[in-house]
């Protein structure tokens, strides 16, 4: 279908444009720009890109312990003996680990759910890595589970559900604090955020 | 006169879909415009001014600007955030079920104020103590009523004779009760006990406070739930997704 649009273009370029076009957020014009840009770059640079793409698909998989994206199993965080493996931080997506790591405040292990419970979209617990989390917690030295799902309705539902499943195991369950964002504005804060910020206020 | 470029309305957020980097397409239910979809730009950023004001299960006052395709949410202010609802797994799940029903049954930009009022009251009732199942059944019956799918519970849908005080049958395809004589012809009928019929008749005509005072045992409760769910599934021609979640919570006794 898309090939027909580029009948005047050489076939390999038309194919490249078509492939770029499939990427999220890239429309036909951006795809064209990228393709013509690659035509002009040195051969090595183009080859590096091609290799990087095929390496991603060939070597990358999920860590069998925490289900983070990794090129070695178990992943570097799960293997790291310097980290505190008695604390597990539960996140929705692999990309959520990056900002948490950037803070440098957490030295425990992670568990990636790969989604969130969304009843109205038919997304239930069986589609997530919840069973794996529970079996990971059973007979383990884990003392605390930190629920770091997003502070929206689905994230809250997932956190409440997990809390009910994990508490009976005698493990401490905590949730990331909810309050005002740094650089924010009280005037625009919503009731839920503001009331939680008040409830969880701290001595200065 | 041309429609104004910006307009303001009360709204309950029914659904939200991610759009691009940080935007969302929101589905609202409003008193005067019915269901409508609009784009909220930048709501997924933590410092968004709209953020928490357009979460699901929130009653807000929103300002919209007409867009080329979809309108754009420019301001929003929470009227009621239903905090009690959001802090409890069961209440939250029931609330989501109510939202999904309204979203599935309505078309865009068709005004139906009673549905808005019903949904808003239901969210309030769910915040209060009481049997959540009764509130949902009452909500379903009333919603069908305002949509034009009110089940016929007074007389047989086939022979039009008044129903006798015995166990009868309910037919989803006929949208009402069949007497034992007529029921034989309908393959998809299900038994409707006399108690269920009485409860349904009462709920169809009373207010929610009265409806909540009815004491029903778990057997009757599950019979009514199955019946309503089957009828709704027949009308929508598909399952209600959040019903599966309610079943799961029930099964795991959480």
Question: For the segment A155-193, what is each residue's pLDDT rounded down to a tens digit?
Answer: 999 999 999 999 999 999 999 988 888 887 888 888 888
For chain A, percent of residues with pLDDT exceeding 70: 97
Residues A136 and A40 both lie in one domain? no
What is the ipTM, given to two decimal places? 0.85
Write down the mean pLDDT value for chain B. 91
Look at A120 and B103 and tell me if their CB atoms are within 8 Å.
yes
Q: Which domains does chain B have, with CATH numbers?
A: 6-81 (2.40.50.140), 84-252 (1.20.1440.120)
Residues A38 and A130 both lie in one domain? no
CA Rg, chain A, in Å?
22
User: What is the pLDDT averaged over residues B163-184?
Assistant: 90
Query: How many structural domains comprise chain A?
Result: 2
B81 interfaces chain A, CB cutoff of 8 Å: yes
pLDDT on residue A139: 82
Residues A32 and A128 both lie in one domain? no
Residues A107 and A8 both lie in one domain? no
Q: Which single residue is written with the structure tokens 């539902």?
A: A157
Determine, yes or no, domain membership for A203.
no
Write down the mean pLDDT value for chain A. 90
pLDDT on residue A5: 53
For B151-185, b/e burial (b = at least 16 CB within 10 A) is bbbeebbbeeeebeeeebbbbbebbbbbbeebbee
Neighbouring-strand partners of residue B63: B8, B75
pLDDT in tens, A16-49: 999 999 998 888 899 999 999 999 999 999 999 9
Higher-pLDDT residue of B10, A182? B10
Residue among A137, A150, A61 at smallest CA distance from B55: A150
CATH number at residue A170: 3.40.1360.10
A45 interfaces chain B, CB cutoff of 8 Å: no
B251 interfaces chain A, CB cutoff of 8 Å: no
Residues A184 and A144 both lie in one domain? yes
State the CB neighbour count (10 A cutoff) for residue A97.
Answer: 20
**What beta strand segments (E) does chain B contain?**
6-19, 23-30, 34-40, 59-65, 71-80, 168-171, 176-178, 190-192
The per-type count for chain A, helices as H runs and strands as E runs, is 9, 6
CATH number at residue A47: 1.10.8.420
User: What is the pLDDT averaged over residues B105-130?
Assistant: 93
B62 interfaces chain A, CB cutoff of 8 Å: no
Residues A135 and A36 both lie in one domain? no
Determine, yes or no, domain membership for A125.
yes
CA–CA gap between residue B97 and residue B68 (Å, rounded):
32
Determine, yes or no, domain membership for A48.
yes
Please give the interface size between A and B, counted as residue pairs whose CB atoms are below 8 Å apart.
Answer: 74
Residues A179 and A142 both lie in one domain? yes
Q: Please give the residue range of the domain that contains residue A20.
A: 2-59
CA–CA gap between residue B92 and residue B104 (Å, rounded):
18
Give the pLDDT band of residue B1 (cuts 50, 70, 90): low
Task: Determine the distance in angstroms separating the CA of A99 from the nearest CA of chain B, rounded to an integer.
Answer: 13
Q: Which single residue is written with the structure tokens 């999220």?
A: A24
Residues of B with Cβ-Cβ distance to A116 under 8 angstroms:
none
> Could you tell me if B64 and B4 are in contact, meaning their C-beta atoms sit under 8 angstroms apart?
no
Look at A192 and B103 and tell me if their CB atoms are within 8 Å.
no
Determine, yes or no, domain membership for A45.
yes
Determine, yes or no, domain membership for A204.
no
Look at B46 and A184 and tell me if their CB atoms are within 8 Å.
yes
pLDDT on residue A70: 92
Determine, yes or no, domain membership for A37.
yes
Residues A48 and A104 both lie in one domain? no
User: How remote is the C-alpha of B182 from its chain's centroid?
Assistant: 31
User: How remote is the C-alpha of B51 from its chain's centroid?
Assistant: 24
pLDDT in tens, B180-230: 988 887 777 889 999 999 999 999 999 888 888 888 899 999 999 999 999
B residues 196-215 lying closer than 8 A (beta carbon) to A? none
Q: Is the confidence at residue A150, as pLDDT, over 70?
A: yes
Residues A187 and A97 both lie in one domain? yes
Give the pLDDT band of residue A4 (cuts 50, 70, 90): low
Give the pLDDT band of residue A200 (cuts 50, 70, 90): confident
- Judge if the upstream peptide bond of residue A181 is cis by omega within 30 degrees of 0: no
Residues A147 and A112 both lie in one domain? yes
């Amino acid at each position: 279908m898309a090939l027909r649009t580029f009948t005047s273009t050489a076939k390999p370029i038309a194919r490249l444009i078509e492939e770029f076009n499939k990427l999220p957020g890239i429309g036909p014009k951006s795809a064209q720009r990228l393709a013509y840009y690659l035509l002009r770059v040195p051969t090595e640079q183009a080859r590096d890109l091609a290799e990087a793409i095929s390496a991603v698909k060939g070597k990358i998989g999920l860590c069998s312990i925490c289900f983070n994206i990794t090129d070695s199993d178990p992943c570097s965080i799960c293997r790291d003996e310097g980290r505190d493996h008695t604390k597990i931080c539960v996140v929705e997506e692999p990309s959520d680990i990056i900002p948490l790591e950037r803070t440098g405040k957490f030295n425990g292990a992670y568990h990636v759910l790969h989604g969130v419970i969304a009843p109205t979209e038919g997304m239930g617990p069986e589609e997530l890595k919840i069973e794996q989390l529970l079996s990971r917690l059973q007979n383990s030295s884990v003392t605390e589970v930190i629920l770091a799902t997003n502070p929206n309705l689905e994230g809250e539902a997932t956190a409440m559900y997990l809390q009910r499943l994990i508490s009976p195991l005698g493990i401490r369950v905590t949730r990331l604090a909810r309050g005002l964002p740094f650089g924010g504005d009280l005037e625009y804060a919503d009731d839920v955020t503001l009331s939680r910020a008040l409830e969880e206020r701290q001595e200065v | 006169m041309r429609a104004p470029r910006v307009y303001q309305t009360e709204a309950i957020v029914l659904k939200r879909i991610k759009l691009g980097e940080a935007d969302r397409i929101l589905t609202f239910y409003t008193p005067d415009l019915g269901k409508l979809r609009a784009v909220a730009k930048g709501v997924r950023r933590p410092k968004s001014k709209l953020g928490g004001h357009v979460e699901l299960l929130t009653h807000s006052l929103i300002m919209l600007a007409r867009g080329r395709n979809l309108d754009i949410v420019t301001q929003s202010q929470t009227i009621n955030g239903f905090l009690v609802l959001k802090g409890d797994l069961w209440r939250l799940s029931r609330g989501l079920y109510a939202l999904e029903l309204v979203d599935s049954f309505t078309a865009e930009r068709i005004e139906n104020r009673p549905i808005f009022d019903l949904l808003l009251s239901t969210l309030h009732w769910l915040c209060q103590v009481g049997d959540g199942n009764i509130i949902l059944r009452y909500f379903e019956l009333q919603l069908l009523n305002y949509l034009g799918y009110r089940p016929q519970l007074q007389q047989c849908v086939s022979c039009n004779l008044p129903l006798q005080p015995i166990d009868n049958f309910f037919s989803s395809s006929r949208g009402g009760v069949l007497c034992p004589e007529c029921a034989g012809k309908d393959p998809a009928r299900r038994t409707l006990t006399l108690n269920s019929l009485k409860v349904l008749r009462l709920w169809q005509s009373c207010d929610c406070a009265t409806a909540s005072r009815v004491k029903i045992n778990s057997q009757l409760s599950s019979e009514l739930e199955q019946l309503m769910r089957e009828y709704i599934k027949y009308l929508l021609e598909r399952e209600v997704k959040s019903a599966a979640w309610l079943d799961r919570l029930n099964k795991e006794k959480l």
